[in-house]
Copies of this chain bind each other. A is one copy, B any other.
Amino acid sequence: MAGAGRFFEDFVVGDVIRHATPRTVTEGDIALYQALYGGRFVVQSSAAFARALGYPRGPVDDLVTFHVVFGKTVPDVSLNAFANLGYASGRFLKAVYPGDTLSSTSEVIGVRPTSKGDAGVVWVRTRGWLDNGELALDYVRWVLVKVQGGRPMPETVVPALPEAVDPADLGSACPIIDRSAWDDALSGSVRRFDDYEIGEKIDHVDGMTVEEAEHQLATRLWQNTARVHFDGYAQKSSKIGRRLVYGGHVISLARGLTFNGLENAFHIAGINGGRHVAPIFAGDTLYAWSEIVDKQPLPGRDDVGALRVRITGLKDCAPTDFPRKLEDGKDHPNVVLDLDLWLLLPR
């Protein structure tokens, strides 16, 4: 049946899936991204500022690239998924501009049946390609996929994943920038790479309430077809009882919130890890706080440096006390997102 998707047994380690549908990114995506997430990072907001730094034109937000590449994988990878378990080893390799066309492939790099036998974990390395054949994005994600049954189960293969992306592998999506053209009044803060300290925690202050129409618009924009986000009628008779918000929507909202305190972190260079700790629903209000967990120069570059930032997304809970875990080590009940990124800032 059309649109039925793959089950756990359909995933074979080493297989590479070419996904439908390539998609051209436009200035319309820039405006919609703004309307959906309220980004204020200057390079993605002002083409004039970007050009002054050395970009040929104004690039799209890094997460536009991520969402477009991710969306294509859903019909092939996660249509029968119970959960999106995690991300790792992600690198943004090329800046993407209006007019570029993105397509995606996913290589199956691991499979592990659960002990219960009704589902299995599938690891894929997804690659996002520009139409000139260049690789724009590369990341690993793993999902819990339903077992169809009646077929032999595959041998377990668990891929080795790095704890973090090596800083030597970061930054190719960011051209060498002319630091003298960076205007702190326009970018929104005087705090640059050297002004942050490892261990520092940042309250991003603002909260953003999510509406059904918003996450549906976003999720369709990225051509993500997972039914749980759109079909309120079918969801009514599910265990959860309502539509789920696409996890990537939460990531973009959280990234938008981080502007307060990370104004100059203009580029996402790597995804060290990420986990949707709990679902979010329409009506929930998202807050975020960040911890600086590492900082590294980029080899051979003195224009920008990389901050390793762990972003915690919370629902219906201001981040004043920086909550993440409870004393017993369990996740704080309001935490919905735990995301570990490399961000680039001017030096």
Contact = CB atoms under 8 A, between A and B. Distances in A.
Interface of A: 1-4, 18-24, 26-32, 34-38, 40-42, 45-49, 58, 75, 98-99, 101, 103, 131, 185-189, 202-209, 211-214, 216-221, 223, 225, 227, 230-234, 243, 259-261, 263, 283, 285, 316, 318
B208 A48 contact: no
Contact of A24 (B2, B58, B208, B213): B58
Given A22-B42, A202-B2, A99 B243 contact: no
B211 A231 contact: no
Contact of A23 (B21, B46, B98, B220): B46
A232 B207 CA distance: 8
B188 A208 contact: no
B45 A234 contact: no
A46 B35 CA distance: 23
Given A48-B131, A213-B212, A205 B22 contact: no
A44 to B, nearest CB: 9
Contact of A38 (B35, B220, B318): B220
B223 A18 contact: no
A223 to B, nearest CB: 6
Nearest to A37: B220
A37 B216 CA distance: 10
Oligomeric state, in copies: 3
Contacts of A24: 45-48, 58
Contact of A46 (B22, B37, B47): B22
A28 B32 contact: yes
A202 B4 CA distance: 13
Given A27-B27, A32-B32, A38 B225 contact: yes
A233 B207 CA distance: 8
A134 to B, nearest CB: 13
Contacts of A261: 2-3
A233 B316 contact: yes
Nearest to A52: B131
Interface centre among A98, A216, A283 (most CB of B within 10 A): A216
A223 B27 contact: no
A212 B284 CA distance: 13
Contact of A214 (B2, B30, B40, B213): B213
Contacts of A260: 2-3
Contact of A223 (B45, B98, B203): B45
B3 A232 contact: no
Contacts of A37: 220
A31 B28 CA distance: 5
Given A31-B31, A46-B22, A209 B233 contact: yes
Given A28-B27, A35-B220, A285-B234, A20 B188 contact: yes
Closest 3 CB pairs of A and B: A28-B31, A3-B260, A20-B188
26 contacts: A2-B189, A2-B261, A3-B259, A4-B205, A20-B40, A20-B42, A20-B185, A20-B263, A24-B47, A24-B58, A26-B30, A27-B27, A27-B98, A28-B28, A34-B220, A38-B223, A47-B99, A206-B225, A207-B232, A207-B233, A208-B230, A209-B231, A209-B243, A211-B211, A213-B214, A214-B217
